[in-house]
Amino acid sequence: MVIHGAPLARPKQVRVGPVSVTTDVFCRNVVITSDSFQNSTAPWVHRPDSMKQVLCVVHPETQSNPPVESSESGATQSTAAGSDQSIIDIGSDLVAWLDMGATNKVYDNTYTSSSVGGPLVYHIMNRSTAHSDLHLSAAYGAGLTLANLGNSVGCTRTGSWESFMDSMPFPYSFLSETYHLHTVIKLTDMGWTYLFDLDTNKTLMWGNPAVLSYLDASENKVSVGVQMLPNRAYLLSVARVSDGAGGYVFEYRVENLDDTAEAVQNVTTQTAGKDLTANPGAWRFGHASTHFDHIQGSFLYINGTDSTQAENARAWLRNQYGSTATETTNTEQTNSNQWYQLYDQRITEIDMNQPSKVQRSLTVRFEDHNGALLGPKDAVLHMEIDRN
């Protein structure tokens, strides 16, 4: 899209935002790039044919998904299990949706991508709009690198055996006493490796050969008794549930995604980890002074014990690993007009290197979360330009 107007003189600073984008396809976020401000501090993003300069990334604070309009009377739409919409529908109980397959990983603090073999990963952002301020950052050693994980990607160490990702501490109000989490893990050997530390649940592979284990309230390692083989992807679920006597236990579920004939393993522990406190610690993928010898896939953490939400989370991870989820309807529809609106009120400031060039037009390009060219149905882009 090219926008023409009066000469903009020599811009000193460009401020972009708020932004509203409406599309006829679902987008986790929208990246707006431009070739008009090359001599500036705007970050760059890799694309197959060139480098593109990023004006802003629309991470929706508000996302409207109106119902399908249909020419058939009484036609309604149902959400497919494991679709993006089924995860969005979880609402405020969805504390963490760390999607390794989306362009929500920041490299070198400058730009986003999701390609294997690119720059190191230093931040992983949250797709849950209810808790969008949650993110994990490289806290020790080098950043992580991306590795293939089925049809998606995961994070693994680069050279430092003790690299890990670390979050800010969590406010107590975010979390509930009961919860369930779901992730995809792929081991690289039979040695021990620290999977994740969520304060109330610390899960690792421990022993020789290593077996699935957790740390109890006294930080003692307790075996779950499940062995996961290297070079196979496993869908790991952990639920913290009431034991009926005022305490809590863990319910571990392990599913082999590469061998569906293998039985799903379910184990209920006799104890749990630390109690939930008013000042819970930071969350981590990996841990300082421990091994990170695995590939960490996408991760979902949901408050409560809703079984439908749990199955939708597992279905979403299966779909991401093996095939793309599709939407289904309970009646045949024609002439449907579904649209999605994303709104982000943040303002991005871009400083121009001086002396800057005279600007007479502005070229912008809209891309979806996979970097594909997007033709928005409507877009409102607020822009302020300070001139020399």
Q: pLDDT tens digits, residue range 182-203? A: 999 999 888 888 889 988 999 9
Pair (99, 237) in one structural domain: yes
| Distance separating the N- and C-terminal Cα atoms of the chain | 26
Pair (241, 362) in one structural domain: no
pLDDT of residue 350: 81
Please indicate whether residue 216 or residue 173 has the higher confidence score (pLDDT): 216
Q: Answer for the pair 96, 134: CB distance below 8 angstroms, yes or no.
A: yes
Pair (312, 374) in one structural domain: no
CATH classification at residue 245:
2.60.120.200
Instruction: Please indicate, yes or no, if residue 101 is contained in any of the structural domains.
Output: yes
What's the pTM? 0.64
Q: Name the band, by pLDDT with cuts 50, 70 and 90, for residue 349.
A: confident
Strand 62-64 and strand 233-242: the pairing is unpaired
**pLDDT digit string, tens, across residues 303-340:** 999 999 999 999 999 999 984 333 233 333 333 456 77
Q: Answer for the pair 114, 368: CB distance below 8 angstroms, yes or no.
A: no
Strand partners, 285: 165, 196
The single residue listed with the structure tokens 């409102």 is 380
**Is 170's pLDDT higher than 80?**
no
Across 111-125, 276-290, 291-305, 366-380, which has the greatest mean pLDDT?
291-305
Instruction: Please indicate, yes or no, if residue 4 is contained in any of the structural domains.
Output: no
Instruction: Please indicate, yes or no, if residue 49 is contained in any of the structural domains.
Output: no
Interval 159-175 mean pLDDT: 67
Instruction: Please indicate, yes or no, if residue 333 is contained in any of the structural domains.
Output: no
Q: Which domain holds residue 251?
A: 84-328
Local structure of 318: helix, strand or coil: helix
Give Cα 113 distance to the centre of its chain.
12
Instruction: Please indicate, yes or no, if residue 145 is contained in any of the structural domains.
Output: yes
Pair (322, 349) in one structural domain: no
Pair (241, 264) in one structural domain: yes
Pair (318, 342) in one structural domain: no
Instruction: Please indicate, yes or no, if residue 148 is contained in any of the structural domains.
Output: yes
Pair (250, 149) in one structural domain: yes
Last residue of a domain, one of 280, 305, 328: 328
Pair (145, 216) in one structural domain: yes
Give Cα 366 distance to the centre of its chain.
20
Pair (172, 302) in one structural domain: yes
Q: Domain count for the chain, please give it.
A: 2
**Is 62's pLDDT higher than 70?**
no
Pair (135, 242) in one structural domain: yes
Instruction: Please indicate, yes or no, if residue 121 is contained in any of the structural domains.
Output: yes
Pair (245, 269) in one structural domain: yes
pLDDT of residue 299: 94
**pLDDT digit string, tens, across residues 73-102:** 444 455 677 888 999 999 999 999 988 876
The Cβ of residue 74 has, within 10 Å, a number of other Cβ atoms equal to 6
**pLDDT digit string, tens, across residues 15-61:** 888 888 888 777 777 888 887 776 666 676 656 556 677 778 887 65
Strand 328-329 and strand 294-303: the pairing is unpaired
**Is 295's pLDDT higher than 50?**
yes
Pair (100, 37) in one structural domain: no
Q: Name the band, by pLDDT with cuts 50, 70 and 90, for residue 248.
A: very high
Instruction: Please indicate, yes or no, if residue 194 is contained in any of the structural domains.
Output: yes
Strand 11-23 and strand 378-387: the pairing is antiparallel
